[in-house]
Amino acid sequence: MNFDYFQLAVIVVAVVGSAIIKNGVGIGSGIFLVTLLSLTLPPKIALGLGAPAMLISDIVGIRNYWKEWNKGELLLLVPSASIGVLVGGITVKFTPNEIFRIWVGSFALIIAIYNLGRGRIFKWKGYEMNFFKSIDGKKLTGFFGFLGGVASTIIHAGGLVMSLFLLKEKSDKRMFVGTLVFFFAIVNFLKMIAYIGIGILTSNTLLLVLLASPLIVLGGNVGNALNKRVEQEHFRTIVLLVILLIGARLLLG
């Protein structure tokens, strides 16, 4: 697919904005990326473009958290996530484009409304924690690996799904973050293979993302700086409101 100047501008804003969000607030970067790109690109092409862009951010994250991951947990997460990527890829392939557009917009609205209301309107955290604690730890980790793989492949929402995984008790927070960074690097690499296989990621798109990689790295550094200077809750709320508006726009067609 050839991109015009306006589409290129939107792509740059989307990939840089996603990198800022990922490193600044840690929630909603993928859904922001795919919904914003879907305003000017076919949603499936937008989805395909997102995987290599997010993989670049993951590589930066691996550098920052080198060897600070839980190998045992990764051995549970990655195999189930691989199955999730396969299921997600098949789902994307056989979903008609128009339905997929509505799907993306609807999911964006649901995710934004839920996360904006969580702790304010939807006060379920205690119930969620009790539910998770009632499940065997290995089974729960495998379940989230699968669910994260599916959600990440269908709409780059694996981070939002895996945020629920934070409800598990962790003693070493840095190791937990490092584990997720490594996890999503693997998932995004597998997604790239799946997207190439179903024809929504091309060599032209990969080249474009590669050329934009310095801007993606810059966006990650900007996000990291904002994380230290801007109130986290305010940043998160702004991101979710933007996702809400973009999702509504997609549904309007």
Rounded CA separation 19/52 (Å):
12
Q: Strand, coil or helix: what is 15?
A: helix
**Over the stretch 200-227, which tens digit does the pLDDT of each residue have?**
998 888 998 899 899 988 888 888 787 7
Rounded CA separation 168/171 (Å):
10
More confident residue, 135 or 177: 177
Output the six-digit token pair for 220.
């990650």
Question: CB 231: neighbour CB atoms within 10 A?
Answer: 8
More confident residue, 39 or 160: 39
pTM: 0.81
- In 3D space, the residue among 98, 105, 116 whose CA is nearest the CA of residue 34 turns out to be 105
- In 3D space, the residue among 191, 194, 171 whose CA is nearest the CA of residue 183 turns out to be 191
**Over the stretch 151-192, which tens digit does the pLDDT of each residue have?**
899 988 887 777 766 655 555 666 777 788 888 889 999 999
| 3 contacts 208 by C-beta, under 8 angstroms | yes
pLDDT at 140: 79
Rounded CA separation 39/114 (Å):
22
